[in-house]
Structure 1
């Protein structure tokens, strides 16, 4: 009986060890799958489309369908594919450096997006701060109100601003009725209208990361600073803003990146004279049907946005490592 019990105990210990090893193996596979899925997503929806666009940017314009040459294919075999690769060149990128239109469009887009991001931060920070300090019972309602505009089509909301900002629109009618102005303001088809449209459209992207950061902040730190003689403004710059900096950075990126390539808002609210890279890209792609040049414009725009972000993230990682 004793030997049987010992053998049974040994079998039980062995089965537990096997189950433990199996559990560790399953956990390792699961963790790898969790890591692989985002990389597969980036590969399919970012890297492969980028490679296709980059290849088109090295091609030449042609009156055909598709409107560029060469069109890669294996019909002529490997040697034919290598011959097609030799036809690729950087002529389109050289053309972008020779025409000041594209440089001015890039600069104008960055300036407009930067000003719009700053204005969105000025408007969004007080809103996010008020939401974070609001009673916990009404915070879900406030979050819903922030997200509520997304329930309506983006295009319809931009068109609505045309009715508000035009000379005979609601804003001018209200200002004239209240006696604030004597003649209608010219807001539509100006940069001011673009700023209004971008700030309105992307304001939730600024508020949500700010609110997520501020909600976790210990507000007793502000009370302690004020008890020690710090002014409210001083407490804001020494405590609140540094603690909210991750949300500020995230919100600014979420607003700035899409604003640089924005097309609909400048086209509808800024008018035909507005120079932004999104409109220039659209004109090259659809009006001029110059796919290689438009692809080169898109590649440079992507690099202008991705490279600074990668440098910033690398600097942040090094700073964190040094802090440890």
Structure 2
């Protein structure tokens, strides 16, 4: 007859673990607070630039930044309570991080497709002979230089905070991707639009002074659409319970388990799940001894948990013995 023992532990139970979790949360909250202001400033600059330069591309940039500012606020609210456990959510609200990343990814995809549609609409109006405003060089040049430095700084800031979190925060990972996309959009549209305004009026390419920004937005949208699609894919599969597919990570976990269980337990099955910024490790082990020593078992699980926590700050460990 098989005998099962279920052992579930979480990192919050030890003092040093609490400090680690609080440090991770502080990094995320601080980064997201800064992100709200960063993106709000960029959104305002985008709309102001659109007003003075008559460039639809700058409005697209402003829309992107406005969505990022709102998403930062939502992400900050989630982050503040993700590790709060109760009867309904005994392991915290980590799955909310995946929900947030999924919804933001979908929103970014929607904005990108809307930008493509609007770009084609502007080109269609120009082809039909409708009046279209020409681009203004001086406002474009000022906007491009200022926002290029600002956006690059924001992206580097997020990337640094993601590194400090150990790379396990889907919230910071999403914001880093979003900031990179914003920087790419700003750099590409700004440089290209400035070049477009330099085309002489009677040149064969003079039409770009009217629809150049729409063409640029379409091209850049096609280039950056891959990143939000990847975010949506990863978040969706995490929510539906698919195991981690990263072979390197799985190998590291397996090596730790085998080393810790050597001579005492045989590893039958290993499942690794990534839920928000937490990781759940589920093990099926077979003891080599006939009579189970509870003290030995407790010592083994504690040692295993400590080693795995060095790899995953927010850990949920389940050990089943058969």
Superposition TM-score, scaled by structure 1 size: 0.26
Q: Which has the higher helix share?
A: 1
Query: Rg larger in 1 or in 2?
Result: 1
Q: Which has the higher strand share?
A: 2
